Amino acid sequence: MTDRHETLAARIDERFGDQVTRIVSTCGELAIEVGKDDLITVATALRNEAEFGFEMLMDVCGVDYLHYGDTEWTTSSATESGFSRGVNRKPVILDEADEFDPRRFAVIYQLLSLRHNTRLRLRVYTGSNNPPIVRSVVDIWNSANWFEREVFDLYGILFEGHPDLRRILTDYGFIGHPFRKDFPMIGTVEVSYDADKGRVAYQPVTIEDRTLVPRVIRDDNRYDEQLRGSGDE
C-alpha cells in the first residue's frame, strides 16, 4: 500500500467513521465496505468533497459469494466435490427462498479521482432480501446506468431508483441470471431458427452429457509394430 493510499484511507476513516470498513487488499489497492443504508451518503461525499474528488465511476460489477471459501472447491480434478458439481447438481434458475445469506451478493464500485490521481474500490452487500436490492447511484454517476443494468441482468440484483432497469446482455424472455453460482452451466433452453414458423424459436436444450476423456483409441500407423525401426524415428 502506497503512502498516497494510506493518506486517503486516513481521510476516509476520519470523515466517515463507523460508516465504512477497511477491506484487506491482496493487490495493494485501497478498498472499503459500506452498509447499504449509507451507500448514497458516502458515495455522494466521495464524489463532491474536494479532499476525495472521485468524479468518475469506472465500473460496477456484481459478486456472488455462494460457496466462497469452501474447501471442497480446492481440487485439481473435476469431481463431484469440485468444479463439476456446477453441472451435476440440481439446477436452480430462480431461487425461491424467502431470503439469502446477507453477505452472499455484493456490488462493487470502481472509483477514480482525476484530481488526486487515486483509485478506490467500494463494496456494498445487498442484505438478506430476495430479490437482492440496493440503491442506484445513477444520480451520482450517470455512467452507472448501463453498468447497473448489466449487474441486474447477470446477477438479478435490483437497483432502486434506476430510470430504466432492464436486461442488457441476455435475450428477450431469458429466465434466470447466468452469473449466479447456482445457475446451471448448460442452461435449460436453446434458440434456433425454425424454417416452418419463419422465426426464431425456443426449445429445451439438446446438449448431451459427454465425457471429455477419450474412450476410443483410434488406429494410427505411426505405432504399427512392423514400421518401428524400419525408417527414421
Closest CA to 64 of 122, 5, 137, 125: 125
Closest CA to 53 of 9, 112, 7: 112
Residues whose CB is less than 8 angstroms from the CB of residue 197 and which lie 6 or more positions away in sequence, other chains included: none
CB neighbours of residue 179 within 10 Å:
16
The sign of the dihedral angle between the CA atoms of 104, 122, 132, 63 is negative
For residue 71, what is its C-alpha cell?
474447501
Stretches where the chain sits below pLDDT 70 are 1, 71-91, 187, 207-225, 227-233
Cell 451478493 sits at which residue? 105
Burial of 27 (0-12, 13-18, 19+ CB in 10 A): exposed
Question: 68 — phi, psi (to 5°)?
Answer: -60, 130
Q: What is the pLDDT of residues 47-98, one digit of tens each?
A: 999 999 999 999 999 999 988 877 555 555 555 544 455 555 566 777 778 8
Q: What is the pLDDT of residues 167-183, one digit of tens each?
A: 999 887 788 899 998 88
Q: How far apart are CA 168 and CA 171, in angstroms?
A: 8
Q: How far apart are CA 179 and CA 224, in angstroms?
A: 49
3-class secondary-structure state, position 13:
helix
Burial of 59 (0-12, 13-18, 19+ CB in 10 A): middle
Residues, the chain:
233
Residues of the chain above pLDDT 70, percent = 77
Please identify, in words, the CATH class of the domain defined by 3-223: alpha beta
pTM, rounded to two decimals = 0.77
Can you give the residue ranges of every domain in the chain? 3-223
Question: 183 — phi, psi (to 5°)?
Answer: -80, 135
Give the residue ranges of DSSP H helices in the chain.
3-16, 39-48, 85-88, 144-155
| Confidence at residue 124, expressed as pLDDT on a 0 to 100 scale | 98
Closest CA to 10 of 40, 32, 38, 34: 32
